[in-house]
Amino acid sequence: MNYIDLHTHSTASDGSYKPAEVVRLAKEAGLVAISLTDHDTIDGLPEALAAGAELGVEVIPGVEISAEFAGGDSMHILGYFLDYADGRLDQRLARLKKARAQRNPKIVAKLNALGIPITYEQVEALSGGGQVGRPHIARVLLEGGYVRTFQEAFDLYLRKGGLAFVPKFRFPPAEALAMIREAKGIPVLAHPFTLGLTGAALKDLVKGLKSQGLAGLEVFYSEHSREQEVQYLALARDLDLLITGGSDFHGLNKPEVSLGRFRSQNRLTYELLASLKAWREKEYGLVGA
């Protein structure tokens, strides 16, 4: 079968494998296409695309942008088929990178104030040269024996409301959607469960996002239950949104997640990607990847 995975991370953000390694692992896992969707950065794309061309894996240039959202846990917006060489997207993402760079040392300082003597150098050393994210801090906490599990690091310290949480600048959803469209990409709402909404409240929110440019919903996700998949599938059909899916592979920074694999045991096939391409062609008058 032609299996695919449209949500993966590399060392360009908080994954543990380099972009080319993610592509190689995808090949080994028998996938024919993946999208590299690093948080707030497109820096890993050239390497991933080159590796894809070499190994015969189709690599869709993607990104995952954190958007402003008051309720729930987080709102992430994926962008697919980006014209990443255009330059404007990279310029806008630079603002997020700066915010991130300012936040991370503050988290470490808060941990220090709580009596946990980790250093920012340890965190950077673990990040593999790309931008630093909370999962890197979680791993330093785990390896130093300050928490028993990776998840405990988030539950106690790093999650929104945790003891060492520090907020960071995010674009309003409308802006995140617009910058993806400006790069001729397809904007998709990632892992809807992190919004913490169901039923009419979820529908209203997604409808609002659609009016601002949203084109798809990440129905299939490694942590979605079968029931959630069914619920999001119905919502996507109801609102006439594209259906996408991905594992959110982070390598060793999320060891329970494997490329192309889902809690529901579903696999994603190439048809899903074909409908994204058709949408893109229709919307922007473009052909191919």
Q: How far apart are CA 188 and CA 284, in angstroms?
A: 16
Tokens encoding 110:
């808060």
CB of 9 to Zn ion, least distance (A): 6
Applying CB under 6 A, the span of 42-50, 90-98, 128-136, 139-147 interacting with ligand AMP comes to 128-136
CB of 30 to ligand AMP, least distance (A): 24
The residue type of 278 is A
Burial (CB count <10 Å: 0-12, 13-18, 19+), residue 268: buried
Closer residue to ligand AMP in complex, CB, 191/210: 191
**90 is a contact residue toward Zn ion (CB under 5 A):** no
> Binds 134, which of ligand AMP, Fe ion, Zn ion, none (CB < 5 to 8 A, cut-off by type)?
ligand AMP
Q: How far apart are the first and last CA of the chain?
A: 21
> Binds 159, which of ligand AMP, Zn ion, Fe ion, none (CB < 5 to 8 A, cut-off by type)?
ligand AMP
- What 3-state DSSP class applies to 203? helix
- Using CB under 5 A as the binding rule, the residues of this chain from 56 to 95 that contact Fe ion are 76
> Binds 5, which of Zn ion, Fe ion, ligand AMP, none (CB < 5 to 8 A, cut-off by type)?
none
What is the number of alpha carbons within 13 Å of residue 215 lying toward its C-beta? 22
**248 is a contact residue toward Zn ion (CB under 5 A):** yes
Closer residue to ligand AMP in complex, CB, 60/132: 132
- Using CB under 6 A as the binding rule, the residues of this chain from 5 to 64 that contact ligand AMP are 14, 39
209: left (phi over 0), alpha (psi -120 to 50) or beta: alpha
Applying CB under 6 A, the span of 133-141, 210-218, 259-267, 277-285 interacting with ligand AMP comes to 133-141
Q: How far apart are CA 261 and CA 220, in angstroms?
A: 10
Contacting residue, 80, 81, 146, 154, with ligand AMP by CB under 6 A = 154
| Site size with ligand AMP, rule: CB under 6 A | 10
Tokens encoding 129:
């040269």
> Binds 43, which of Fe ion, ligand AMP, Zn ion, none (CB < 5 to 8 A, cut-off by type)?
none
Q: How far apart are CA 65 and CA 180, in angstroms?
A: 9
Q: How far apart are CA 137 and CA 231, in angstroms?
A: 34
H or E element in which residue 61 lies:
strand 58-67
Q: Which residues contact 283 (CB under 8 A, 6 or more apart)?
A: 186, 215
Q: How far apart are CA 91 and CA 94, in angstroms?
A: 5
Contacting residue, 135, 173, 187, 192, with ligand AMP by CB under 6 A = 135
**43 is a contact residue toward Zn ion (CB under 5 A):** no
Applying CB under 5 A, the span of 56-64, 133-141, 194-202, 276-284 interacting with Zn ion comes to 56-64
Chain residues in the site for Fe ion (CB under 5 A): 14, 76, 190
Chain residues in the site for ligand AMP (CB under 6 A): 14, 39, 133-135, 151, 154, 159, 250, 254
Chain residues in the site for Zn ion (CB under 5 A): 64, 248
